[in-house]
Structure 1
Amino acid sequence: MPISIDVGDVIAGLAFLLSAYATWQTVSFNKKQRSLVESQEKLNNRLLEKENEDSLRERRADLGASFIKLGSSKYRLKIWNKGAATARNVRLEFPEGNDVVIDSDVTDKFPLESLERHQSVELIAAVYMKTKRKHVVRLIWEDEAQSYNEKLSYPTL
């Protein structure tokens, strides 16, 4: 039994091949589209994280301490706020003992009600020959981001 192929069969075969090609292109496009959507979601999540970090950074104070030298023999312990927010209820502790800053100066100025951005407080330091060069200062404060912040600073002479 011979098989005869007429024009309708050729057209149907070409339509089938064209349909298969179109299906393959659609599946390929959908894969690319899916990967694009996934990368878009990752990018959006990273942008949200960055925005949250920036928002938190703007509500956070960042305190530090360092010794500054005035003249040939005068020293001050400078407590400063380089953060974006105001630090409130600032307290100062010396975990390894205080043998350099005058105690009356500390008790007169601390706890400090607020320390604005780029504001600082200086404490008189009594430096003599046997004063150790490295000190530990614990800074404790509140800000808009947290009700309790603590930072150890290691100012050196």
Structure 2
Amino acid sequence: MNPEIIKYWDIIKEFIKDIAIYIMPIAAVIVSLVALKRSKDSVEVKVQLSEVEQKLKEYDLALKARELEKIKEQEEKKAFVEARIVYISKNNYKLKVWNSGNEKAYNIDVTIPEEYRIIIMKQKLPFEYLEPNNSFEETVVIHMNSSSKFKIISSWENENGDKFTNEQLRSY
């Protein structure tokens, strides 16, 4: 072999050794430092994301609790009057009217449209007020031409004078 080629080859080998001994470890340290920095940044972002998710969950729970509270307030402050015809004995029926709400109902009235040919005697109607979960009965007249399926329309007011109605499809 040519001595000059060997000399260049030895120089190249020394250069490669120097790179392997000095430059590669330095490059590895630099790459490790960059990876460490990115890893630290990634952990910080994950922590911030976790905090934001926690705040969103707390906000969502607070919002749902507030909505539930509003719904309960609305439900708690409503009267709801219902009525139905109850069979007592042969040719004897009563109209039962009750307040299934949570607030007192005022000026209660119940009607059945004439087309059903059921007569409410209205001895007690209109009823001045009805406490929650209380009821009263009214006499009704049902004859052979009366429809066995009919609508009952209950109407009432709250303490502010706001008017409400409840139309129900019933049968006897």
Match of 1:47 among 37, 62, 65: 65
| C-alpha contact (below 8 Å) 1:77/1:101 kept by paired residues | no
Q: Check if 1:121 corresponds to 2:136.
A: yes
CA apart distance, 1:113: 1.5
Q: Is the 8 A contact 2:116 2:147 kept in 1?
A: no
So what's the TM-score if we normalise by structure 1? Answer: 0.80
Residue type matched to 1:50 in 2? Answer: L
CA contact (8 A) 1:89 1:142 kept: yes
> How many correspondences in the alignment?
154
The structure whose RCO (Cα within 8 Å, separation 6+) is larger is 1
Q: Give the gaps of 5 or more residues in structure 1.
A: none
What residue in structure 1 maps to residue 7 of structure 2?
none
C-alpha distance after superposition, 1:71-93 (max 9, x if no partner):
23311011111111111121223
Instruction: Report the CA distance between 1:124 and its aligned residue.
Output: 0.9
More helix by share: 2
Deviation at 1:114, TM superposition (A): 0.7
Question: Residue 93 of structure 2 is aligned with which of 75, 92, 97?
Answer: 75
RMSD: 2.8
Q: Say which structure is richer in strand.
A: 2
Q: Residue 127 of structure 2 corresponds to which residue in structure 1?
A: 112
Q: Which residue of 1 aligns with 2:109?
A: 91
- Which residue identity lines up with residue 70 of structure 1 in the other structure? I
The answer to whether structure 1 residue 154 and structure 2 residue 169 are counterparts is yes
Question: What per-residue deviation string (whole Å, max 9, x for no partner) do you get for residues 48-80 of structure 1?
Answer: 111111111111111111111112331101111
TM-score scaled by length of structure 2: 0.74
| Structure 1 counterpart of 2:56, from 14, 18, 38 | 38
